Chains A and B, each alone.
Chain A
Amino acid sequence: MSTGQKSKPRLIVNSENKPYWEGAAKGQLLIKKCNDCGKVHYYPRSICPHCFADNTAFVEASGDGVIYSYSVTRQAKPPYVIAYVTIDEGVSMLTNIVDCDVEKVHIGQRVKVSFVEAEEGYALPVFTPA
């Protein structure tokens, strides 16, 4: 699995997002859920952006989703697909669609999470056609 980039992606890991990247390294897509309002959010924050409670926790997402929108960056060699995928838990995340025929990617397409090896033993969640 690769994002089509020549080198492994270097991630920006900090104390707030580290569990997300550690989860990805173990093959888990983690999202944040607020234990006060019950809503999930993405990207993960310590304080819930919906209700402002500081009672959020990482939960594992199913990893299944649907393409909300996408674009093929044609100037890159090879061209790559950037997309917003709405995962079944309800939030949308920016990602790449990989291991796919770029000409057949479409809005509404079912996709599932996959992981690309990143620098320092972390991994980057991406999606492939389901």
Chain B
Amino acid sequence: MSIKGKAYIAGIYEHPSRKALDKTLPQLHAEIAKGVLEDAGLTKDDVDGYFCAGDAPGLGPINMIEYLGLNNVRHMDSTETGGSSYIVHVNHAAQAIAAGHCSVALITLAGRPVADAKEGKSARFYSPDTPDLPFEMPYRFNVVNMYAMCAMRHMHEYGTTSEQLAWIKIAASHHAQHNEHAKLRDVVTVEDVVNSPMIADPLHRLDCCVVTDGGGGLLVVSPEVAKSLKRPLVKVLGAGEAPKHLAGGYVDLTYSGACWSGPKAFEEAGVKPTDIKYASIYDSFTITVLETLEDLGFCEKGKGGAFVSDGNLISGVGKLPFNTDGGGLCNNHPGNRGGMTKVIEAARQIRGEAHPKVQVPNCDIALAHGTGGLLGARMGSATLILGSEAA
């Protein structure tokens, strides 16, 4: 069963907060739910499907549905693939809608890592039962050094340079200058990036995304509901999801799960990489974007460095405008989970509601891709292709 044309994104909302000291985690979820329903022009009683991931407290949907006061939910999903979860959720919501299980699916994400750190709460808890943890934790892995090893290997195999990776941050910064909510709004140069402090070789501070509080939400609805609303139509064309892991020790850090989730999404949508007018690419680090672009087929494997250089990702300048909200690198990475904002900006582009300075003209086909977990170990990759009603 294909989801092409079977579901629409009717509501989007990005919480404006980047530092939520005065708000609880459930409160952020609720503000987001309210924001996304108001955007769509629907009420909480219209919601019959609810989706959340590991950022939601308690048993996820069970606790959140009660807190939000949702009374008509008949479909629940708490798929957890890290930061890509919300892109997977759109796929699963479209499948559920196509199968007739629900017609108005609410997806919420919220997080407050900045506030939590200030309050002395630990960022993340890994159960000691996690099978890989005994063999990784003692070596002091962290998010940055695990992605850094991917960059180091990519440089070794393909000659990719720090200057080329810097262009990914530069493009994001060009877009973020127009976003009043972006955490970092200054336009940066290659020199700024490569001269910023080294965090974990070869990744500098400006190769890393921001840490922010806040979140976002989506409303995925049936075609009948979408066409009854007053918002521009954003159609789900195709989606793919795939895990990638260390394969029992046969490690290759030069590619991601996008090499499987991408082709599946393109096939379902019936489009090619050259048809994509705008791409939201998960940008936890610059290397995440580089490997993803290659794996999705926007350029040949190993040629990502040349592809991203000289402004090729800058809206109005290059061939593939990306992350026009400023992405995780400059705008927002709420709860350390960037998949939600990727879908939101792709939907804004299809609606024609991105900032005028970064709006892609006639943006009829857009892509959103997420990489959850660790590029340097095990990850959940998810690709979503959206289109206008004519697409």
Binding site for B on A (CB under 8 A): 3, 5, 9-14, 16-17, 31, 39-43, 45, 49-50, 68-76, 80, 82-84, 86, 90-96, 107-108, 118, 124, 126
Contact = CB atoms under 8 A, between A and B. Distances in A.
Interface string B114-149: 000000000000001001111111111110111011
A75 B140 CA distance: 12
A21 to B, nearest CB: 8
B141 A13 contact: no
Pick the most buried of B128, B133, B138, B201: most chain A CB atoms within 10 A of its CB.
Answer: B138
A64 to B, nearest CB: 16
B197 A73 contact: no
A69 B153 contact: yes
B96 interface: no
A14 B199 CA distance: 33
B200 A74 contact: yes
B134 A11 contact: yes
Given A43-B131, A107-B156, A71 B148 contact: yes
A94 B141 contact: yes
17 contacts: A3-B138, A5-B140, A11-B138, A12-B128, A31-B249, A41-B249, A42-B249, A69-B153, A70-B152, A72-B198, A73-B144, A74-B199, A82-B141, A82-B149, A92-B251, A107-B152, A118-B138
Contacts of A107: 152-153, 156
Pick the most buried of B142, B146, B251: most chain A CB atoms within 10 A of its CB.
Answer: B251
Interface of B: 128, 131-142, 144-146, 148-150, 152-153, 156, 197-203, 246-251, 253, 377
Given A69-B153, A84-B251, A124 B199 contact: no
A94 B134 contact: no
A17 B134 contact: yes
Nearest to A89: B249
Contact of A91 (B137, B138, B200, B248): B248
B253 A69 contact: yes
Contacts, number: 111
Nearest to B245: A49
Contacts of A45: 131
* 5 tightest A-B CB contacts, nearest first: A91-B249, A42-B249, A41-B248, A71-B148, A12-B134
Contacts of B131: 16, 43, 45
B139 A82 contact: yes
A88 to B, nearest CB: 13
Contacts of B250: 90-92
A50 B139 CA distance: 25
Given A69-B156, A71-B148, A71-B201, A84 B134 contact: no
A80 B140 contact: yes
Contacts of A69: 149-150, 152-153, 156, 253
A90 to B, nearest CB: 7
Contacts of A118: 138
Contacts of A41: 248-249
B149 A71 contact: yes
Contact of B134 (A13, A31, A71, A74): A13
Nearest to B198: A74
A72 B134 contact: no
Contacts of B251: 68, 84, 86, 92
Contacts of B377: 94
Pick the most buried of B141, B250, B253: most chain A CB atoms within 10 A of its CB.
Answer: B250
Contacts of A80: 140
B149 A83 contact: yes
Nearest to B137: A12
Contact of B200 (A3, A16, A71): A71
A93 B142 contact: no
Pick the most buried of B140, B148, B156, B249: most chain A CB atoms within 10 A of its CB.
Answer: B249
A70 B135 CA distance: 16
Contact of A73 (B134, B145, B156, B249): B145
Nearest to A86: B251
Contacts of B248: 39, 41-42, 49-50, 91
A14 B134 contact: yes
B249 A92 contact: yes
A75 to B, nearest CB: 6
A78 B142 CA distance: 16
B130 to A, nearest CB: 9
Contact of A84 (B144, B198, B253): B253
Contacts of B247: 49
A83 B139 CA distance: 9
B90 to A, nearest CB: 30
A69 B153 CA distance: 6
A82 B140 contact: yes
